[in-house]
Amino acid sequence: SPHGRWKAEAAAEARRRRLMEDVGVKLEVLADGQRRWYGCTKDTPRCFGTIYQQTPQYLMAGRWTPPCCLRALRETARHVVGELEKAGVRYWLEGGSLLGAVRSGDIIPWDYDVDLGIYREDLAKCRWLAAAQRQPEEDPEGFLWEKAAEGDFFRVHFSRHNRLHVDLWPFYPKGGGVMTKATWLGHRQDVEFPE
């Protein structure tokens, strides 16, 4: 019967979704070219839990960044760059984000955030960064701007629920035309550089 066929198709789809979750598949490309996402969205947490000693959970499991998380990182980075450009904030790629751009023109496939350097003196130009100095601020498109708990820098999250993020590192020129920042986290790429 049509009802029996509908029940069988619904049960098959539920089994398929459970299988994808169990195996860890985030994107399924069907024979006809259609794509089904099983990963995270703005309304769900990111696909991976903790980051231990600068290593995300999925790398410890021998996997790369899930495609939905890379998609969300790209979307967040585009949004942040758009807001910085509208406000006239000077910015540049930092660390692994710069390395990925040079090597492949994209985010490194196992990275979990995007890093941007900005001029500290430009902070007040961007209304979201100015507001985030006092308290977390959600913009009209659902991105959450906040001051990081770990030091003197900022994070822009994909959403309140999904904590994929762009880190914004305020730099300032010190004597001799060298750029420096107030917070260093001990990464190998944390070095001063010529302005």
Task: Say yes or no: 5 and 61 in one domain.
Answer: no
Task: Say yes or no: 101 and 80 in one domain.
Answer: yes
Task: Say yes or no: 118 and 161 in one domain.
Answer: yes
pLDDT by residue, tens only, the chain of 195 residues: 999 999 999 898 888 878 877 777 767 788 888 877 767 778 877 776 666 666 667 777 777 788 888 899 999 999 999 999 999 999 999 988 999 999 999 998 888 899 999 999 999 999 999 999 999 999 999 999 999 988 899 999 999 998 889 999 999 999 888 998 888 777 777 888 899
Cβ–Cβ < 8 Å for 72, 111: no
Task: Say yes or no: 6 and 76 in one domain.
Answer: no
- Indicate whether 44 belongs to any domain: no
Confidence (pLDDT) at 49:
66
Q: Which of 156, 152, 171 has its CA nearest to residue 89?
A: 171
Which amino acid would we find at residue 40? C
Confidence (pLDDT) at 172:
94
Domain extent for 88: 49-194
Task: Say yes or no: 57 and 28 in one domain.
Answer: no
Task: Say yes or no: 29 and 124 in one domain.
Answer: no
Residues 21 and 119: their CA atoms lie apart, in Å, by 42
Secondary structure class of 69 (helix, strand, coil): helix
Task: Say yes or no: 27 and 111 in one domain.
Answer: no
Q: Which of 169, 191, 190 has its CA nearest to residue 117?
A: 169
Confidence (pLDDT) at 68:
83
Confidence (pLDDT) at 50:
64
Torsions phi, psi for 77 (to 5 deg):
-65, -45
* Number of structural domains in the chain: 2
Confidence (pLDDT) at 89:
98
Confidence (pLDDT) at 75:
96
- Indicate whether 43 belongs to any domain: no
Domain containing 110 — which CATH number?
3.30.460
- Indicate whether 180 belongs to any domain: yes
140 token code pair: 């009209």
Task: Say yes or no: 11 and 107 in one domain.
Answer: no
Task: Say yes or no: 11 and 72 in one domain.
Answer: no
Confidence (pLDDT) at 5:
93
